[in-house]
């Protein structure tokens, strides 16, 4: 479902201006890089189960991106919520975990020592 082709640019590269006047302020984008996202993915799945399921079921109906914008916004909002909570309660453990992942080529099995306190923290607080 996350498939879209790269554009084939014939005469040169395309530079897109940010088009004004589009509803880009409805939801704040998740400005995360890959390591923190990956380390929080399992918690994200259980925390935002309803919204993600809703979104995927909606996506199943049609390929149209416009059809599922609302559910997508809900998913992003839930993710931002989770990130805020993680930052508030579990910031040091989460940070050490994703720093470790960055060092170890995103190998989950090499960061079990940091994962354990993160699991405990998340279990206790969320």
Return the number of other C-beta atoms located less than 10 Å from residue 28's C-beta: 9
Return the number of other C-beta atoms located less than 10 Å from residue 117's C-beta: 15
C-alpha distances in Å from residue 87, one per residue of 8, 36, 48, 105, 121: 41, 11, 17, 23, 12
What is the nearest approach in angstroms of another protein to the Cβ of residue 113?
Answer: 16
The three-state secondary structure class of 49 is helix
Binding mask of the shown chain, residues 71 to 100, with x at each position contacting another protein by CB under 8 A: xxx-xx--x---------------------
**What residues between 22 and 61 interact with another protein by CB under 8 A?**
22, 24, 29-30, 37-38, 41-42, 44-45, 51-52, 55-56, 59
Q: Applying CB under 8 A, which residues contact another protein?
A: 1-2, 4, 7, 9-17, 19, 22, 24, 29-30, 37-38, 41-42, 44-45, 51-52, 55-56, 59, 62-69, 71-73, 75-76, 79, 106, 108-109
């Amino acid at each position: 479902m996350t498939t879209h082709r790269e554009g084939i640019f014939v005469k040169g590269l395309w530079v897109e201006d940010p088009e004004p006047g589009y509803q880009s302020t409805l939801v704040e984008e998740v400005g995360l890089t890959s390591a923190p996202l990956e380390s929080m993915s399992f918690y994200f799945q259980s925390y935002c189960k309803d919204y993600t399921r809703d979104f995927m079921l909606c996506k199943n109906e049609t390929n149209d991106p416009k059809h599922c914008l609302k559910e997508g916004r809900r998913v992003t909002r839930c993710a931002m919520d989770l990130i805020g909570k993680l930052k508030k309660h579990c910031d040091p453990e989460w940070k050490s975990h994703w720093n470790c992942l960055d060092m170890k080529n995103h190998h989950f099995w090499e960061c079990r020592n940091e994962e354990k306190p993160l699991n405990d923290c998340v279990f206790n607080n969320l």
